[in-house]
Structure 1
C-alpha cells in the first residue's frame, strides 16, 4: 500500500540551511534519495552527531531541568512556611509569590544574555554556572538566617530580596539550558527530533515531586531545611554544568552587532511571529476556564488536593513519556484537537456533576482532574517541537525565551478576560436554586471560550516538515517583527502590573488586581 511522506532533509553536499522537500512512496527514486540522505547526513538541522541520551553531557544537561523543576516548584510553596508561620504576616505571601514569578517574565532577555555572554569560548555553560551560583548563594543565605529574629522589618526585606535573587538565578540557568537544549535537538534525526526535549520536560516534572512530598504532603515547616535542600540542588547543577556538560561550537562566534542583525532577521520571519501569535491567542482562550478551580460549588478540601497533586504529576510524566516514545510523528493539529476536546468534555462533566450534586464526593472530581493532566500537558509540546525547526544558529536562547514567554503571558490576559466575564454574574454563586442556573451559564460560556482556542490552530504548522516549508517560503516582514516585539513588550508590562498591584495595600482593591473595586 503506497503512502506519501513529506520530509524536508538537508542535502549532504549543501549547507545546513539548504533544504529539499521529498514527496515519496516506497520504491520510488525520491524514496531512495531520502534513504541516502538519512544514512549520509542523518537529517539533522545542523551538522554533528545526534545526542546520546546516556552520555555524561546529556545527563548533565537533563540534571539542570530536574533542578529547575525542584526550585521553581519549591519557592512558590514557601510563603505559608516563611511569612505566615515565622512572621505572622500573611499579606507578605502575595508579595513573595509575585517576586517568584517576575524573573521568569524576563526569559527572552535572559536568553539573549545566554547568547551573547562569551567567556573562555563558552556562552551557555557560563550562564548556567552563574545562574546556579546566584541561586545557591541566595538559598544558603536564607538557610543560615534565623527567621524568628525580633527585627522583622529588615528581615522581611532581606527575605524578599533573596527570593528575587534565587528565582532570577534559576531563570538564568533555565534560559541557558533551553538554548543548549535546542542546539542539541537540532542535531537529532527528523524522525526522533523532539525526543530530547520531551525527556527534559519529564525530568523537570520529576523535580517537582520533592517539594510536593516535603512541603505539601508531609507539611514540612522548617524553612531552613528546605532552603538548604535548594542550596544543595543548585550546587549540584552548577557542578554538573562545569564538569560534564559540553557545549559544542556549531557556528563561528558572532559579534554583538551581527547577533542583533541575526535576531532581528529571525523575528521578521513569518514562521516566528505566527508561532508566537499562536502561543498567545491559543493560551488566552485555553486558560480562561482554569480560574473556575476556586468555584464555590467544588468545595475542595486542602489536604486531598495536596495528595492528588502528586497524582497529577505522575499522569503528566506518563503522558510525556508516551509522546516521546510514539507521538513525535503525530499531526500536531489533530493532537491538539483531540486533547482539547477530551479536556473540555471531562471538565464540563465534573463541574456540572459538582454543581448539581451528582458526584458522590470530591474525590471523583479530583480523580477526573488528575486524568485530564494527560491531554493538558500534551498541548505544550507542539510549540516546543516547532521551536527547534525555527531557531537560528546562535540565537536559540532569545527565541526559546520568546516562545515560552508568549505562552506564560497569556495567563494574565486570560485572568483579565475571566474577571471581565465574571463581572456579569452574581458575586456569590452557590448550589441553591437561585444561582444554579447562573452558574450553569457561566460554566458553558467559559468552556465555549476554551473551545474557540481551536480556531487559532491554522497558525500552527502540522508537523516539522511544514514548519521548515513555512520558514523557507513564508517570507518575512519588518512590520510583523516590529508588531511582535511591541505586543510582547505590552503584554509583559501588563503581566508585571497585574503581579505587582495585588501586593500593594492601596492598589489591591483595583479590578485589574483582582479586587472588587476601590471606594
Structure 2
C-alpha cells in the first residue's frame, strides 16, 4: 500500500492533538497543494473548482445515479404490487433483487482498481455500467414483460447503475483528497446533494405519474409503464456522452494481481480500516433494529394513504438534502462523535414520543404519524456524510474503489442481519395485524414493549462511537501510526464474506415461495 509522506514521524504524529494537527496541516503543507496556499490536502493537484469540466462531469453522474436508482426502488408498491398483482413473496423478492448489487460494491471496486477498461480505471467502468443500465431500461421500455421478467430486468438495470456508482465514488475520492483540510468534504456534499435531488425527482415522478387506479392510486391520469421506463433510459443514455466528454481521468496500466493483493492485505490489517469498519457495522446494525408492528400501525391505527406517504417521503428527501447542505457548509469541522450521539438521542426522543402517543391512542393522526418522525432524516444524513468523510481520509492512491466500496458495503450488509433480528425479537410479542385490529390494552402494551427494545438497541448503537475518530486530524493520526494486525485483517475478510453470504442467501430465499416466510429471509417464520 502506498503511504503518504509526513513532515513528522509516525510517533510524533500520534502525539498531536486535533488542534496541533490542523495547525501543522495549514503551516507545513506544500504551498501548491490546495487553493490559495491552504494545506492539508492528501494529494497534489489543487482543489477542484465546482464549475470545472471534471466536476460538472461527475455531477452529471451523481444526478443520473440518483434518478435511476430512485425510480427503480419506488416500483415496489405501484408496479409490482398493484399493476402486476404479484404475490407477497415476489414483491419482497423484487426489493431484495433490485438492491442486491449494492452488496457487491467492494468487489466491483477491487476489479476497477486492478483492471482498467479501455485504458481507464474509472471511465471504462462508468461506460460499462451505463451501457448495461441503458440496455435493460430500453428492454423494459420497448417490450411488455411479465411481472417476474420485469423484476429481473430491473435488477440488471440496478446492477449496471451500481457499477457506475462505484467508479464515480472512486473519482470522487481522488478529487476530494485534493481539497485542503479546511474545506475537504464540500465536494462530497455537492455530489450527494445532487444525487438526493435526482432521487427525489424520480420519487415524485412515480408518485404523480404512477398513481392511477391501475397502480393503486386515485388519479384520473397516469404514465404508461413503458413511458416510465423511457424516463429511466434517458438519463442512462445522457450519462454516456457525459462520461466520454466531461469525466477527466488519466490513462492507467493494469496492476499485477500479486502486487494488488499484497497492497490490499496490508490495507485490511491496518487499524484505521478495521476500526472504522467495526464502528460502521455495529452502529448500523443496532440502529436498524425496529418493530414489525410498524406497517400495521401505519395502515390500521393511523390509516395512512399511499399518496400522503409519498408526499412525506419527498419531504423526507428535502430534510435529508438540507442536512447535507448544512453539514457541507458549516459542519466540516464538527466533532463527529458529538454530532452523531446528540442528533441520535434528540431524534430518538422525538420518535419515541410520537410512537407512544399513537400506541396508547392519545393522538392517532395520519399527518402526526408521517410528519414528526421526518426529523429522523437529520441524524441519518449526518451519519451518512460522516461515513463518506471517513472513506476519503482512509483511501490511498490506487485503491480508491475498493476502500470506498468496502466502507460503504459494510453498511448495506447489515440490512438482512438487522431485519432478521427485528423479526426474531418481534416474534415474542402479539403485534401482528389481527391483534392490532383488536386494539386492546394488552395489544398496546405488547407493541409498546417491542418499541422499547428497538429504542434500547439504538443506545447499543451509540456504544460504537468509542471507535469513531473525532475528526479528520484524529483519523489521519491513526492512519499514520500504521498499527497493523493480521488477526484483525483476517477477521475483516471473514466478516465481510460471511455477511455477504448472509445477504445473498437471504435475498435468494426471499424469491422462493416456500422459503420467503423464513425469519432468515425477512419473513415472520414458516
TM-score (norm 2): 0.88
On the 8 A contact 2:137/2:232 being kept in 1, the answer is yes
Alignment partner, residue 248 of structure 2: 246
1:46 aligns with 2:47: no
Where do 1:113-128 residues align within 5 Å?
Answer: 113-128=111-126
Moved more, 482-491 or 95-104: 95-104
- Tell me the CA shift for residue 23 of structure 1: 5.7
Unmatched 5+ stretches in structure 1 = 1-8, 148-154
Give the aligned partner of residue 225 of structure 2.
223
Find the aligned partners of 2:63 and 2:168 in 1 and give their Cα distance: 11
Pairwise CA distance, 1:301: 2.6
- Preserved contact between residue 285 and residue 453 of structure 1 (Cα < 8 Å): yes
Matches within 5 A, 1:335-414: 335-359=339-363, 361-414=365-418
Equivalent position of 1:35 in the other structure = 27
Alpha carbons of structure 1 residues 237 and 355: separation in structure 2 relative to 1, 3 Å:
same
Matched residue, 1:451: 459
The 3 A distance-change label for structure 1 pair 350 and 63 is: same
How many angstroms apart in 2 are the aligned matches of 1:78 and 1:46? Answer: 42
Q: Does the Cα contact within 8 Å between 1:114 and 1:179 map onto a contact in 2?
A: no
**Do the aligned partners of 2:291 and 2:450 also contact (CA within 8 Å) in 1?**
no
- From 221, 237, 240, the equivalent of 2:239 is 237
Q: Which stretch shows the higher mean deviation, 293-302 or 497-506? A: 293-302
Instruction: Please show how residues 71-470 of structure 1 align to structure 2 within 5 Å.
Output: 71-84=68-81, 87-91=84-88, 92-147=90-145, 155=146, 158-218=149-209, 219=211, 220-248=222-250, 254-289=255-290, 293-296=294-297, 297-359=301-363, 361-428=365-432, 429-430=435-436, 431-470=439-478
How many residue pairs are counted as aligned between the two chains? Answer: 497
RMSD, aligned CA:
2.6
How many Å apart are 1:120 and its aligned residue? 4.3
- Residue of structure 2 equivalent to 1:152: none
Q: Is the 8 A contact 1:108 1:402 kept in 2?
A: yes
Q: Quick one: distance in 2 between partners of 1:206 and 1:301?
A: 24
Alpha-carbon contact 2:113-2:398 (below 8 Å) kept: yes
Comparing 355-364 with 272-281, greater Cα deviation is found at 355-364
Aligned 8 A contact 2:14 2:481 in 1: no
Matched-pair contact (CA < 8 Å) for 1:185–1:194: yes
| CA offset digits 1:380-405 (Å, max 9, x no partner) | 12121111111121011011111111
* Structure of greater relative contact order (alpha carbons < 8 Å, 6+ residues apart): 2
Q: CA deviation at 1:115?
A: 1.0
d(CA) in 1 for partners of 2:455, 2:114:
43
Distance 1:36 1:237 in 2: 41
| 1:216 to 1:457, Cα distance in 2 relative to 1, 3 A | same
Name which of structure 1's ranges 126-135 and 509-518 shifts more when overlaid on structure 2: 509-518
What stretches of structure 2 of length at least 5 have no aligned partner?
34-38, 212-221
Query: Is the contact made by 1:44 and 1:187 (CA closer than 8 Å) also made in structure 2?
Result: yes
Matches of 2:87 and 2:449, distance apart in 1 = 35
Name the CA shift for 1:24/1:421 in 2 (closer, same or farther; >3 Å): closer
The TM-score, its normalising length taken from structure 1, stands at 0.89
